[in-house]
A and B are shown apart, each in its own frame.
Chain A
Amino acid sequence: MLVDLIQNTLDGLTAGAAYALLAIGFTLIFGVLRRINLSYGPAIMLGCYAATWFHVQFQVGLLVLAALTLAATVLAGAYVERLCFAPHRDRSAIAAMVASFAIWMQLEELATLVLPNHLYAFPALYEGGPLSLGPFTLRAEALVMFAVTVLACLALQRLLYRSRFGLSVRAVIDQPVAARLVGINLPWVFVRVFAVASALGAVAGYLIVASAGQVTPMLGMWSTLKGMLAMMLGGLGSLPGAIVGGLALGLIEAHSQWFFGPQVRDLTAYFLLFALLALRPSGLWTTPRHG
């Protein structure tokens, strides 16, 4: 019983690490643009599909695949920004969101047009079996996932608090009018934030498909849902909240699967989100906003 509980916690934290990465990307875009980008996941999916296509055609190595996923996702992200968010900057948030939904469909169609099978094999990160630590088992991929998430969070922290770009991002999140008044070029910040968020999403996406050993077009919807859910659990627009929300989502899923069975796994998360929105709509982890 206790062994199971700990094992579930380990599994939950691993899945949660990926969710946290997805949620951070989502939160960056939401914090800076105050817009929900539904195409966030589909852009990641497209990046993974681009890598898969290269893998199918040329049998390239792991690092090349990772680089391809990153490059293609960032490109897809920039495409989404130019098409959905740049034209609707001062206008309706709904228009931007609906546009991002339309692009979602477009990206999904593109992926299934080029690679029409339902699923494709994706080279695994590690070919050996799971590692055992006493009574617990841990996949090597899980360790990589965890390590990469921690590194990505540290890198992002450095970027946000130690660079001029980070200063501009925090200024835009904090007080957008004042950010423009001190001379920050808003459209340029938006494009770069999209690139950073897409890059984080690509890292998460690559690790997820490499752990699963396969990729399907559903990855797009899956990433958007998990990222959004984790972001909302943590509190809209808070980066530490996104990490907490991601880990919480992973833990909740792992434990509820053990208690109630695999069918209930996703349902619990949605139920929790519903309860949270009803009882504490600002999220679990919110910083008070002044001024």
Chain B
Amino acid sequence: MSALLEVKDVVTAYGKIEALKGVSLEVQQGSITCLLGPNGAGKTTLMMSTAGILRPRSGSIQFAGAEIAGAAPHAIVARGIALVPENRLVFPGMTVTENLRAGAYQRADKAEIEAHIERMFARFAPLKARATQLGGTLSGGEQQMLSVARALMSRPRLLLMDEPSLGLAPLIVDEIFRIIAELNKDGTTIFLVEQNAHMALKVANHFYLIEQGKVTFSGDPGSLAEDEVIRRAYLGSARA
């Protein structure tokens, strides 16, 4: 395996406050890599920096060998990265179908887009029943599916997922993780941020722990006792 995404010494700051204080990590081609850590550790900041919404102050982010740190989000999507953002951020005033069409915004193959939407409806059955409903009227779990499906519409090589299980009922969480495993099996590399360490460690090939803007541990699931990982992911080692 080779690294599809290589993050090196990335510093991202909000004004004077550095949320990422030199983060380095790798996501291997074909893997599910998971980033765990307590609230405020910088997980979302790293996702937003990789997707181009936030501009890193320094450091490098290489995707498939090309530097993307500081590039505009649309240029990053064009290279093959899609982010399923925290809180899903579906288009509330657009129908489910329109949400999916927006996900394919950069594609020009009109007929293939419609066929792709049909495949999404086959994979995410609850969305099909809501095809003409507005995104804002969907339940949390449906919105999460829509957000994932929308990201997939750009046919990404790397799918970034920020807290896909947040605020969802346990049954739906199982469903979301089943989808993650399935997508990975179909060849999509996945970089996942999760609070739900227990579920994440079940699907991940590799994980990183991030605490206070720095990577403090990395390993394969099983390399650290799960309860220790979970304790640090929720609480951070400094406060333990």
Contacts and interface: CB of A to CB of B under 8 A. Distances in A.
Interface of A: 164, 167-168, 170-171, 173-175, 177-186, 287, 289-291
B105 A168 contact: yes
B98 A180 contact: no
Contacts of A177: 53, 85, 89
A178 B77 contact: no
Interface residues of B, number: 34
Given A289-B92, A291-B92, 17 more contacts: A164-B105, A170-B91, A170-B98, A171-B102, A174-B94, A175-B89, A175-B90, A178-B85, A178-B102, A181-B73, A182-B106, A183-B73, A183-B74, A183-B78, A184-B74, A184-B105, A291-B87
A160 B62 CA distance: 37
B102 A182 contact: yes
A168 B82 CA distance: 17
A251 B85 CA distance: 46
Contacts of B154: 182-183
Q: Tell which of B73, B90, B143 has the most Cβ of chain A within 10 Å.
A: B73
B150 interface: yes
A179 to B, nearest CB: 8
Given A182-B103, A184-B74, A185-B74, A287 B93 contact: yes
Nearest to B110: A164
Nearest to B89: A178
B51 interface: yes
A181 B91 contact: no
A158 to B, nearest CB: 15
A183 B93 contact: no
B105 A180 contact: no
A181 B53 contact: yes
B214 interface: no
B77 to A, nearest CB: 3
B106 A183 contact: yes
B86 to A, nearest CB: 10
Contacts of B221: none
A180 B92 CA distance: 15
Nearest to A167: B102
B83 interface: yes
Interface of A is mostly: helix
Interface in B24-56: 51-53
A284 to B, nearest CB: 19
Contact of A170 (B51, B52, B93, B143): B93
Contacts of A170: 91, 93-94, 98
Nearest to B137: A290
Contacts of B51: 181
Given A181-B53, A185-B72, A185-B74, A174 B105 contact: no
Contacts of A175: 89-92
Contacts, number: 89
B22 interface: no
Contacts of B151: 181-182
A151 B150 CA distance: 34
A289 B134 CA distance: 11
Given A164-B105, A167-B101, A182-B103, A174 B73 contact: no
A252 B151 CA distance: 48
Contacts of A178: 85, 89-91, 102, 150
Interface string B104-127: 011000000000000000000000
Given A167-B98, A174-B94, A291-B136, A181 B89 contact: yes
A136 to B, nearest CB: 40
Q: Tell which of A168, A177, A178 has the most Cβ of chain B within 10 Å.
A: A178
B88 to A, nearest CB: 8
Closest 4 CB pairs of A and B: A290-B136, A183-B77, A290-B92, A178-B89
A171 B91 contact: yes
A173 B137 CA distance: 17
Given A167-B101, A183-B106, A184-B105, A291 B89 contact: yes
B3 to A, nearest CB: 23
20 contacts: A171-B91, A174-B91, A174-B92, A177-B53, A177-B89, A180-B73, A180-B74, A181-B85, A181-B89, A182-B103, A182-B106, A182-B150, A183-B106, A184-B105, A287-B93, A289-B93, A290-B93, A290-B135, A290-B137, A291-B136
A171 B93 CA distance: 9
Contacts of B93: 170, 173-174, 287, 289-290
Nearest to B72: A185
Given A167-B105, A291-B136, A182 B92 contact: no
A181 B82 contact: yes
Nearest to B107: A183
